Each structure stands twice: as structure tokens, then as C-alpha cells.
Amino acid sequence: MTKAAHSPNADPGDPDPARPRADDPVSGAADPALPALEVDVARTGGFAGITRRWKAQPPEDEASDWISLIDRCPWDHPRSSDGADGGAAMPDGFVWWIRASIGADPREAEVPDGELTGAWRELVDAVREWNKAVGRSSPGPR
């Protein structure tokens, strides 16, 4: 089974169906009333190749803390799950797709599990905790 078969919102022509897309209904980005701040996280890979998704849309009174965390992430340092950036690829390892939108300023990154440290780890953990708190966990495909 291909990776695309695991994603409920996969586009057969999309080379990376696990990556959250701007027109993906799971991300809510197609909604004309976009939230001021939104962070989407998808984890794919592992032995079973299952994709899990989480999303946070914190209210305005929490935005400054989230923006600070988002700004600490090294968005300008591309990562690669195939080891092309100098790191070794991990067979059956997880890859994290992270997209943060602050208004009309979207940022995206692919981070192999072994490089999910520091601000990346804090951001992913914050999104996952936010989902738990509001009961919006998305286990991915069923």
C-alpha cells in the first residue's frame, strides 16, 4: 500500500500526500475565515506508515506565546528525511510535517524524527497538548 492510500485527503498527483496542504480540509485553510494563528502537524512513517495529524488554533490571548515559539523554530534550515542534509535516513522512522500560519505568513518544514529537538519538539508537543485540551485529536485514517 502506498503512502497516498494512508492519507484521507491525498491527491493522487501529490508527491507528498502526508504534508499538510493549503487546500486540505483537515487544515481548514480552504475556509475563507482563516484563524489569525494556526499550526498543523502531521507525523508519517514508522513501520506501519500511518499518518497522524494535529492542529492548534489558539485564541488571540494566547497568540504571543505561540508566535514566540514559532519564531524560535529554524524554518530557514531545510531538513531532509533521505539524509541529503548530512543526517542518515532512519528506515521506518517518523517524519514530521509542520506548517505554521500567522495571518497570511505560512511557514512549512519537514523534520525527521531524529532532528525533532529544541523549538521543533516544543512546538509539536504544544500542538499535541492543545489538541488533548480541546479534545480535537485526529488519529489519521481509520
- Give the model confidence (pLDDT) of 57-113 as tens digits: 999 899 999 999 999 999 987 555 444 544 455 667 899 999 999 988 899 999 999
CB atoms within 10 A of CB 32: 4
The DSSP bridge pattern shows strands 52-56 and 37-45 to be: antiparallel
Other beta carbons within 10 angstroms of residue 12's beta carbon come to 8
Mean pLDDT is lowest, of 41-50, 89-98, 116-125, 133-142, for 133-142
Strand 94-102 to 52-56 pairing: unpaired
* CB contact set of 99 (below 8 Å; sequence gap of 6+): 20, 27, 39, 40, 41, 106, 107, 108, 109
Beta strands in 19-127 (DSSP E): 37-45, 52-56, 94-102, 105-112
Give tens-digit pLDDT for 15-51. 454 544 444 434 444 444 555 899 999 999 887 888 9
**C-alpha distance from residue 14 to each of 3, 47, 106, 137 (Å):** 11, 22, 19, 24
Question: Do the Cβ atoms of 52 and 140 come closer than 8 Å?
Answer: yes
